[in-house]
Amino acid sequence: MVDIPKESAETRRHPRIAVVWSVLSAEIERFAAGTGATMRILDVGGGSGGFAVPLAELGHDVTVVEPSANALASLRQRAADAGVTDRVEAVQADADELLDVADPGSADLVLCHSVLEMVDYPDTALDMLAKVCAPGGAVSILVANRIAAVLGKALSGQFGTALDLLVHVDGVNEGRDTIKRRFETATLTALVGGSGLVTEQVHGVGVVSDLVPSPAAQAETGTGEALREFELATASRVPFRDMATHIHLLARRPMR
């Protein structure tokens, strides 16, 4: 039994991403029930370690593949502050180079959070995620949802931009967006299926948490826990699921 550090536990309970941690925690328990061993986790585009470090704090070995030197520097600092330097490996590489830095079938759990929006070819990236995942292992994917972006713009009165996002083939505001594409549940599921991975769970992440007062204000008024419960209750329910700011998908690599 691993002692869960307080900071890690708080990160995992944050209302906005509670459902992602709930799915990851279940996957960790599933793995432990099968082998009882430490997981080998690969976090592609893992940034400064927002997921990697709490996972290492839970006792797992995490390799972060990330092109940004600045993000890797922050990751190393975060890992040092959390006392998990020995369980976090930082590798500077792009998702396109994944098979140059990770062996096929080498990860029990692969994370690719908020990255498929940025890569040149999401289908190629997904093929590589599937290859580095061990047979029977899981791939956790988090992407921006076009529907939420359209609604967000419309609700703030930016109807022209909302319509642009609605009709653009990739759900972006051409030339003014920082990302290359947004996804919808159906398109993401189809893309994942094309890589040979089998989708097991789809959740909405941030059904309303970006539309309500800030986390600090929620903590002060005591609504943070209620918001967390609301997010967890609506995350898998259509249409709430499909309106959330992000879509989380857990897929599995078949055993053969």
Ligand X SMILES: C[S@@+](CC[C@H](N)C(=O)[O-])C[C@H]1O[C@@H](n2cnc3c(N)ncnc32)[C@H](O)[C@@H]1O
Q: Locate all alpha helices (DSSP H) within 2-49, ordered by sequence.
A: 6-13, 18-34
Supply the minimum distance, in Å, between the C-beta of residue 171 and ligand X.
16
Residue 50 or 136 with smaller CB distance to ligand X: 50
**Inter-axis angle of helices 159-167 and 146-155, to 10 degrees?**
160
Supply the minimum distance, in Å, between the C-beta of residue 117 and ligand X.
8
Residue 118 or 134 with smaller CB distance to ligand X: 118
C-alpha 209/C-alpha 173 separation (Å) is 23
Q: Locate all alpha helices (DSSP H) within the chain, ordered by sequence.
A: 6-13, 18-34, 52-57, 69-82, 98-101, 122-132, 146-155, 159-167, 185-194, 215-221, 224-234
Question: In terms of C-beta density within 10 A (0-12 exposed, 13-18 middle, 19 or more buried), how is residue 119 classed?
Answer: buried
Supply the minimum distance, in Å, between the C-beta of residue 150 and ligand X.
20
Task: Using CB under 6 A, list all residues that contact ligand X.
Answer: 44-47, 50-51, 66-68, 71, 94-95, 113-115, 118-119
Supply the minimum distance, in Å, between the C-beta of residue 96 and ligand X.
6
Residue 120 or 174 with smaller CB distance to ligand X: 120
Residue 15 or 46 with smaller CB distance to ligand X: 46
